[in-house]
A and B are shown apart, each in its own frame.
Chain A
């Protein structure tokens, strides 16, 4: 059971390993807070749609499952979007069309297709929770790095002094691509070391 939860956090991390769901990842992480909000919104959608899909998995005919999944996902995304608009208007404004774009986030349909449509409700819930958390963590890391160098702050707190020359490139699209590329590389190095250590112990 625990394995279902842990998998999404590291070994099958949706961003660093599977490289899925790139558009929100790159677009909203100019600040750590935006990354966090996007992560939570996606977490909500992936968990609720996985649970619903797992519940109805035996009722859905094979041929129409993809359209069904998409409609379920789109419904939850609409709910998340209206919730953000009502309660956190400034964040909703900053995230713009990238909240509705959660509909086509490949992570969610991927989990529905690969896991929730084949497994029990409990396991699907844990799997989706793990994937959502892994996604959120990755967004916060990416957002923090870009905010630190782009604005000198993390979550709005001043980290680097006034003397720091801001790297505008980090907030621009080019910075997003390059930072994520380097992060994927760093992730691979750490993962390789961990696997090597496991092999020695085992």
Chain B
């Protein structure tokens, strides 16, 4: 039962309720960055990593520090500081331990702090009363979903270079419309969980 619920959270966060296409979280990098598949994958992996870590750390802080000491009103300030320092820490850690990985992911890391998907993830985690394990899985699923949307979008935009887009829609306009069509496609996954 417990295991089943974890699987449902993982699939829900990554596919049926995709963070980017259903909750509109992480749209900025989605529109700004995703024009090459390689960099989309890099950014996706870095984000997934930070998301899983952020879910773990903020859960511990929220339930072991903020709630017992009646400091819930500091939730937003604390979460954003935790995320920012976590990103900084991950960056330093990767640079020290694995230079090749740092070369691949390094430039994406500072971008992640202002990614609304991470703060959104921690807020949803508290709103839905997930327990510790569920939160970690939720973070992982959300990261995978973000990567998926980013990579699909990058693939489409690589093809888009050769398409004849109306002048006023070039750039942001056509990207948003494509995202809309993708969101429609992802709605099709909605049946998986409720019917299963």
Q: Which residues of A contact B (CB under 8 A)?
A: 19-20, 22-23, 25-27, 66-67, 70-71, 74-75, 77-78, 81-82, 96-97, 100-101, 103-106, 109, 169, 172-178, 180-182, 184-186, 188-189, 192
Contact = CB atoms under 8 A, between A and B. Distances in A.
Contacts of A174: 180-181, 183-184, 187
A97 B123 contact: yes
A178 B177 contact: yes
B172 A178 contact: no
A182 B174 CA distance: 8
Contacts of A96: 127
B183 A172 contact: yes
A85 to B, nearest CB: 11
- Chain B interface size range: 35 or more
A181 B28 contact: no
Contact of A82 (B23, B26, B73, B115): B73
B35 interface: no
A181 B113 CA distance: 26
23 contacts: A22-B31, A23-B26, A67-B84, A70-B80, A74-B76, A74-B77, A96-B127, A97-B120, A103-B76, A104-B115, A104-B116, A109-B114, A172-B187, A173-B183, A174-B181, A174-B183, A177-B179, A177-B180, A178-B180, A182-B173, A182-B177, A185-B173, A189-B168
B196 interface: no
B89 interface: no
For chain B, what secondary structure do more than half of its interface residues adopt (helix, strand, loop), or is it mixed? Answer: helix
B81 to A, nearest CB: 7
B19 to A, nearest CB: 10
Interface string B102-126: 0000000000011110011001100
A182 B179 CA distance: 12
A177 B169 CA distance: 13
B21 interface: yes
B180 A176 contact: yes
B80 A27 contact: no
A184 B176 contact: yes
Contacts of A182: 173, 177
Given A97-B120, A173-B24, A181-B175, 12 more contacts: A23-B23, A23-B27, A66-B84, A74-B76, A78-B77, A97-B127, A100-B119, A101-B120, A103-B119, A176-B180, A182-B173, A188-B173
A81 B181 CA distance: 33
B7 to A, nearest CB: 24
Given A173-B183, A185-B169, A104 B176 contact: no
Contacts of A101: 25, 116, 119-120, 123
Interface in B132-179: 166-169, 172-177, 179
